[in-house]
């Protein structure tokens, strides 16, 4: 390009720039495109979040009450049991023999009792005619008392023998789930000396957790008003939390820990919980009305959390005081009112007092 033509082009461009500056100063940026959501008021819980652990409501260790050879196992490991289901059979033959012997002894003692009574009755009639001495009368009376006592002892031995024979059939004392049996058929088991099986009742189930000593007065305050609800979930498992009731508050603070133990009882028919699991526990203290905004509307600045509120197509920055998170929403204690339009995306291009353009059809409610 010739030098004269280049110089002419620069002069034209310079003239255009001067005309643009004279018309309105620096070039203006278009309004930032944003999406908004309306701040709503909803009833939400005030809660404490803790980590807990599940536990069976009933935990029974099955032990033999008589010594003998294990003859039969009547269940499969891990099955659900009903109260009264037969679990084990111990060889009953020695106990059947002991029962027969005890019953025979009763018959023998009853015969001795009858003889003693007959002798006492005769002596009683003779003592009235002075035909026998008082000493002989006392001896017969004592012999009858001894015979009566021996019959009672023999009858007690029969009841004991029947109990021992009954103990040869071991049944489940509760509804629950069987664990793994600890003894196989053919082994000799000793009375009250070894565990054969553990049975746990899993429906309902406990969720045990602790709160800090500082939270105790607040929890007790709400407990005095009503039974508190508890929401429990297993970390990493899908599905909504299971809801139960707070059923236990310990009577003392744990020494050295500064915590208090609590327990919730939860329905567990679907076996969502398993004994010994770590769980997330939310203790709901009360339900209250609160202003909520989407979590994505919250921004963090040098002065703390804030949101942008759109009014007349202008972004207004507001510092806010946060409450508790409610799912994908945040409770706002101060700074936002019901109906305020808060910006949920596009904040990076927004400045306080700047004009914005709200994207149509994407507002969150």
Whole-number pLDDT of residue 28: 63
Tokens of 345: 């995306």
CB 165: neighbour CB atoms within 10 A? Answer: 19
Token match 């010594």: residue?
67
| Superfamily of the domain at 48-57+201-288 | Efflux pump adaptor protein, beta barrel domain (2.40.30.170)
Q: Which fold has domain 92-167?
A: Helix Hairpins (1.10.287)
Whole-number pLDDT of residue 245: 97
- Decide if domain 32-42+289-358 falls under CATH 2.40.420.20: yes
Whole-number pLDDT of residue 137: 80
Q: Which of 263, 257, 229 is nearest to 244 (CA)?
A: 229
**pLDDT band, residue 27 (cuts 50/70/90):** low
Q: Which fold has domain 64-90+169-194?
A: OB fold (Dihydrolipoamide Acetyltransferase, E2P) (2.40.50)
Is-contact 354 341, C-beta < 8 A? no
Domain ranges in the chain are 32-42+289-358, 48-57+201-288, 64-90+169-194, 92-167
First to last CA, the chain: 61
Question: For the chain, where are the E strands, in sequence order?
Answer: 32-38, 40-62, 68-73, 80-81, 86-90, 169-171, 176-178, 188-189, 197-212, 229-233, 242-249, 259-266, 278-294, 299-301, 304-311, 314-319, 321-326, 329-334, 341-345, 356-358
Percent of the chain with pLDDT over 90: 80
Report how far residue 172's alpha carbon sits from residue 88's, in angstroms, rounded to the nearest whole number: 9
- pLDDT tens by residue, 282-293: 999 999 999 999
- pLDDT tens by residue, 246-269: 999 999 999 989 999 999 999 999
Is-contact 53 277, C-beta < 8 A? yes
Token match 């005081």: residue?
321
Taking phi first (over 0 means left), then psi (-120 to 50 degrees means alpha), and beta for anything else, what does residue 355 get? Answer: beta
**pLDDT band, residue 365 (cuts 50/70/90):** low
């Amino acid at each position: 390009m010739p030098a004269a033509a280049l110089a002419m082009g620069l002069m034209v461009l310079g003239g255009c720039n001067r005309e643009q500056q004279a018309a309105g100063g620096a070039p203006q940026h278009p309004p930032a495109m944003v999406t908004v959501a309306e701040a709503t008021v909803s009833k939400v819980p005030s809660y404490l979040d803790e980590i807990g652990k599940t536990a069976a409501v009933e935990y029974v260790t099955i032990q033999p009450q008589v010594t003998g050879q294990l003859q039969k196992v009547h269940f499969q490991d891990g099955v659900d049991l009903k109260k009264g289901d037969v679990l084990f059979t111990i060889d009953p033959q020695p106990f059947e023999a002991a029962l027969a012997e005890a019953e025979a002894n009763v018959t023998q003692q009853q015969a001795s009792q009858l003889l003693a009574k007959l002798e006492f009755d005769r002596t009683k009639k003779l003592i009235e005619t002075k035909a026998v001495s008082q000493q002989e009368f006392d001896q017969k009376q004592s012999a009858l008392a001894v015979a009566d006592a021996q019959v009672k002892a023999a009858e007690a031995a029969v009841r004991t023998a029947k109990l021992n024979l009954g103990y040869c059939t071991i049944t489940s004392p509760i509804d629950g789930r069987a664990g793994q049996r600890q003894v196989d058929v053919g082994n000799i088991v000793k009375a009250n000396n070894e565990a054969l099986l553990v049975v746990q009742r899993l429906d309902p189930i406990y969720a045990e957790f602790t709160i800090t000593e500082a939270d105790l007065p607040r929890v007790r305050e709400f407990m005095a008003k009503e039974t508190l609800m508890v929401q429990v979930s297993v970390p990493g498992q899908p599905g909504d939390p299971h809801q139960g009731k707070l059923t236990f508050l310990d009577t003392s603070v744990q020494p050295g820990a500064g915590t208090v133990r609590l327990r919730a009882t939860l329905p567990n028919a679907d076996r969502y919980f398993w004994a010994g699991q770590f769980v997330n526990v939310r203790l709901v203290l009360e339900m209250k009305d609160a202003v909520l905004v989407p979590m994505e509307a919250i921004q963090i600045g040098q002065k703390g959390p804030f949101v942008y509120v759109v009014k007349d197509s202008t972004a207004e920055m507001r510092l806010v005081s946060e409450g508790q998170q409610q799912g994908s929403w945040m409770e706002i204690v101060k700074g936002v009112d019901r109906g305020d339009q808060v910006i949920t995306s596009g904040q990076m291009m927004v400045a306080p007092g700047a004009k914005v353009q709200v994207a149509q059809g994407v507002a969150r409610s």
